[in-house]
Amino acid sequence: MTHGVSAGNGSSRFVVVGCGTVVPESDRACSAYWLESGPIRLLLDCGPGSLQAMARTGLPWHAVTDLALTHFHADHTGAIPGLLFALTYGLLPDRRIEPLDVWGPPGTAEFFEHLSDAYGEFVLDPGFEVRVHETVAGGSNELGTEVALRTHSTPHTDESRALRIELPEQTIVYTGDTGPSDSLPGFCSGAELLVCECSLPDSHAIETHLSPGSVARLAAAADPEILLLTHVYPQFRLAADVPRLVSEAGWPGQVELAHEGWTRRFST
Ligand SMILES: [Zn+2]
Ligand SMILES: [Zn+2]
């Protein structure tokens, strides 16, 4: 497995767009992540504030080819109408013609129909094709010829999913929102980068979110090269050294706290 700053014939990159929670914060958008590999420009979740964060971090938001959703909570989906509105009218006098593939859990097609009813026809008919694919947990989906997207149910909402993106030489897993799960470590294993929620302190651990103890157990079983903590409530993050708590809870490997613009490049 190779990684590092790209050299030679191509590169992939993962960029944190938004790593916040439902709580409004001045320095971070709600959940959104950008993964680029070859012709694929994949946005993982599209929470409030993520369009402005893509602009701040210099990401080519207008070139997005795929949108993958973990679940329908507003902090993960709230900017979808704005994204489609921007793709419809934000490029004038040019118009986008490339299709957008949307990958989401069961209910995604109905979710987009409701958005269209509320915001207007541009949601599903923005002048280019919006292709909504409802993924099957445990199944694998091909994005282009070299990227595979796999999904796994998580204990958070009925539809919530973790996402595993397999590039030609690297694997990235994003837990989305999840509680502790016996089956999640297997789904995460072999990942070079594990983007893992760590919402709450152990003293407030609940069944639908992770805390340092459950994150450390997941990481120790999955053994990623890098553990990136995200979706940390500010009441927790601003009062504690969260990566250190995860280390002390039993994860001896590399662990970092996500911030807007955090980037990992992979050579291919
Ligand atoms: Zn969330
Ligand atoms: Zn959620």
* Distance (Å, whole) CA 81 – CA 144: 25
Question: Nearest bound ligand to CA 71?
Answer: 2
* C-alpha of residue 136 to centroid of ligand 2, in Å: 19
- State residue 267's pLDDT score: 81
Per-residue pLDDT, 7:
37
What whole-number distance in Å separates Cα of residue 249 and Cα of residue 243?
A: 10
- Give the ligand with the smallest distance to the CA of 161: 2
Ligand 1 centroid–CA 209 distance in Å is 9
Strands 171-174 and 161-166: antiparallel
Residue 233 CA to residue 236 CA, distance in Å, equals 5
The pLDDT value recorded for residue 268 is 66
Domain 11-267 has CATH 3.40.50.300: no
**How many CA atoms lie within 13 Å of 137's alpha carbon, on the beta-carbon side?**
17
Q: How far apart are CA 125 and CA 170, in angstroms?
A: 34
What are the mean pLDDT values of the chain's consecutive 10-residue runs (268 residues total)?
A: 39 96 97 97 98 98 98 98 98 96 98 98 97 95 95 98 96 98 97 98 98 98 98 97 98 98 91
Q: Where are the domains of the chain?
A: 11-267
Distance 72 CA to ligand 1 centre (A): 9
pTM metric for this prediction:
0.95
Closest ligand, as measured to the CA of 72: 2
Among candidate residues 14, 42, 247, the one with its CA nearest the CA of residue 148: 42
Residues pairing with 172 in the sheet: 165, 193
Q: What's the 3-state SS for 184-252?
A: HHHHHCCCCEEEEECCCCHHHCCCCCCCHHHHHHHHHHHCCCEEEEECCCHHHHCCCCHHHHHHHCCCC
Among the listed residues 219, 12, 251, 100, the one whose alpha carbon sits nearest the alpha carbon of residue 3:
12
Tokens of 187: 């789904």
Active site residues per annotation: 75
- Bridge partners (DSSP) of residue 34 are 15, 43
What spacing in Å lies between the alpha carbon of 70 and ligand 2's midpoint?
9
| Distance (Å) from CA 196 to ligand 1 centroid | 12
User: How far is the centre of ligand 2, averaged over its atoms, from the C-alpha of 209 (Å)?
Assistant: 9
Which ligand has the shortest distance to the CA of 154?
Answer: 2
